[in-house]
Each structure stands twice: as C-alpha cells, then as structure tokens.
C-alpha cells in the first residue's frame, strides 16, 4: 500500500479519533476516483458480455440518461437487469477481471488506509453504492470489506441465473433506506461525494463529503459537514 503524506495520515487519524462503531462509505468518487459502475458498463459492452440486442438497448438508454431523460436510479437499475439470463458467476468473473485494470490504480490511499484502520479497530464498515453489486464486490476485496457488508444495486438470482427483478438500488433516498433496513440504525460516520449521498450523510452523526461534486460541496458547507479532498496525484494501491 502507498505510504501516506502527513495530510493524508492526519485525515485518517482525525476519523479514527471519533471511534465510530458503524461507518458507511459510498464507493465511486469516494473510495476511488472515477465511476466503476459506468466503467464496467462500457467495458462489458465492448467485450460482448451481453447480447447485441442488449448492447443496442444499453447504449441508447445510456445516451438518454446522459441527456437527462432517464433518472439516476432507473439507469443504475438498468445496468443490473440488463444481465438477465446470464450466469452470475460469469458476470462476477468479468467484474473481477475489469476492476484491477480499470479502477484499482485510482484508489485513494488514505481511504484504503482509513477503512482498514476502522475495521481493525472493530468498527462495522459498510460499502453503500448504486453501482452494480458485482463490481463493488470486486472492489471491496481491496478494502477487506466482506460481501455481507455491501449494499449495492442488485437483482434477484435463481439457481445461479440473474433475473430481471431488482431487489435494491441504493441511490439518493434509497441509500438511507437500505442502511436503515440492514443496520437498523444510523451510522456514526458516513462518507460520500455526490448529491446521491446526501441522505446517507445527513443521517449520520459525523458526515464527510469526500472529493465532493459542486452541489454536494455547497450542501456540506451550509450544514457544517467536514469536506476532505484527496490528492488524486497520490491515488494508487
């Protein structure tokens, strides 16, 4: 793991000193720069993981999403259900193949160190993401976060085959809902980077806006939330 700068180490220590019992982390833009869900989506279409019919639908749907015509949670759900009929092990293997070369080098070292420190201190750490479950599972292996502590966009799976039935899309209010359902309470610390993390941050005792988008940064400043911006020049495993 990359050694931390004094500023990075101080950030980690400042969180650890809070002694949180439960902490929730968004993933894309918070634990690493870039969007693993969108990156995997583009990569798997290029690789032909799904049928040509699904590829055409997905590209058209994504263009509509980028144009502002498809809501965030609907697009996130579609990125999961488009795998219907595939074996889950095939999709998981594809995500495991993509993450090391597409995202791993963009991991913020202080966030990696923080998650590991918190877990080592007995904190119950959760990953909460609107990206698909398979890519988040692949990423959480770097952070030592187990599968049963991941809340991500997922669909039902029957006898190893992916179904066209969403079970969860943790985005916006969906994140706080998923947290309440899984944790039965509010986290002591929460970390997120976008407007879709607002509800999760607001419900926590100690909210941290990490590398926040402009709209979240304004909200964080207004509410007195801690804002921390990782140095992307030091990202890497």
pLDDT digits (tens, 9 = 90+) for 178-220: 999 999 889 999 999 999 999 999 999 999 999 999 999 999 9
pLDDT digits (tens, 9 = 90+) for 60-119: 999 999 999 999 999 999 999 999 999 999 999 999 999 999 999 999 999 999 999 999
Question: Is the predicted pLDDT of residue 236 greater than 70, yes or no?
Answer: no
Q: Measured between alpha carbons, how far is 179 from 117 in angstroms, rounded to an integer?
A: 22
Full strand arrangement of the beta sheet holding 124-132:
161-168, 150-158, 124-132, 22-25, 189-192, 206-210, 226-228
φ, ψ of residue 190 to 5 degrees: the values are -140, 145
User: Is position 127 within any domain?
Assistant: yes
Range of the domain at 151: 6-234
Chain centroid to Cα 223, Å, comes to: 23
pLDDT, position 1: 53
Domains contained in the chain, number: 1
Specify whether the CB–CB gap between 55 and 83 falls below 8 A: no
User: Is position 1 within any domain?
Assistant: no
Question: Is the predicted pLDDT of residue 233 greater than 90, yes or no?
Answer: no
CATH number, residue 74? 3.40.50.1000
pLDDT, position 235: 43
Specify whether the CB–CB gap between 38 and 80 falls below 8 A: no
Rounded to an integer, the average pLDDT of 147-175 is: 95
pLDDT digits (tens, 9 = 90+) for 107-157: 999 999 999 999 999 999 999 999 999 999 999 999 999 999 999 999 999
Q: How many CA atoms lie within 13 A of 63 on its CB side?
A: 6
pLDDT digits (tens, 9 = 90+) for 18-30: 999 999 999 999 9
Q: Measured between alpha carbons, how far is 164 from 127 in angstroms, rounded to an integer?
A: 24
Specify whether the CB–CB gap between 32 and 107 falls below 8 A: yes
Alpha helices in the chain (DSSP H): 6-16, 36-47, 52-66, 72-81, 88-102, 109-120, 133-143, 173-183, 198-202, 214-223
Rounded to whole angstroms, what are the CA distances from 73 to 40, 79, 130, 154? 17, 10, 8, 12
pLDDT, position 232: 58
pLDDT, position 216: 96
Specify whether the CB–CB gap between 200 and 216 falls below 8 A: no
């Amino acid at each position: 793991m990359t050694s931390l700068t004094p500023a990075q180490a101080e950030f980690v220590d400042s969180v650890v000193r809070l002694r949180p019992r439960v902490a929730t982390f968004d993933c894309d833009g918070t634990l690493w720069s870039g969007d693993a869900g969108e990156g995997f989506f583009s990569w798997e279409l290029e690789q032909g993981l799904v049928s040509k019919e699904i590829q055409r639908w997905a590209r058209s749907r994504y263009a509509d999403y980028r144009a502002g015509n498809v809501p965030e949670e609907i697009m996130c759900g579609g990125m999961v259900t488009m795998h219907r009929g595939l074996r889950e092990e095939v999709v998981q293997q594809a995500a495991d193949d993509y993450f090391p070369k597409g995202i791993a080098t963009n991991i913020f070292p202080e966030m990696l160190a923080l998650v590991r420190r918190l877990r080592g201190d007995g904190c119950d750490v959760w990953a909460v993401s609107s990206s698909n479950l398979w890519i988040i599972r692949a990423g959480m292996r770097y952070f030592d976060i187990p599968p049963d502590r991941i809340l991500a966009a997922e669909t039902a799976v029957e006898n190893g085959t992916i179904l066209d039935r969403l079970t969860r899309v943790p985005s916006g209010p969906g994140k706080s809902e998923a947290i309440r359902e899984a944790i039965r309470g509010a986290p002591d610390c929460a970390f997120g980077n976008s407007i879709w993390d607002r509800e999760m941050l607001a419900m926590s005792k100690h909210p941290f806006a990490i590398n926040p988008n402009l709209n979240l940064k304004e909200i964080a400043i207004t509410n007195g939330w801690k804002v921390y911006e990782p140095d992307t020049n030091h990202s890497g495993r």
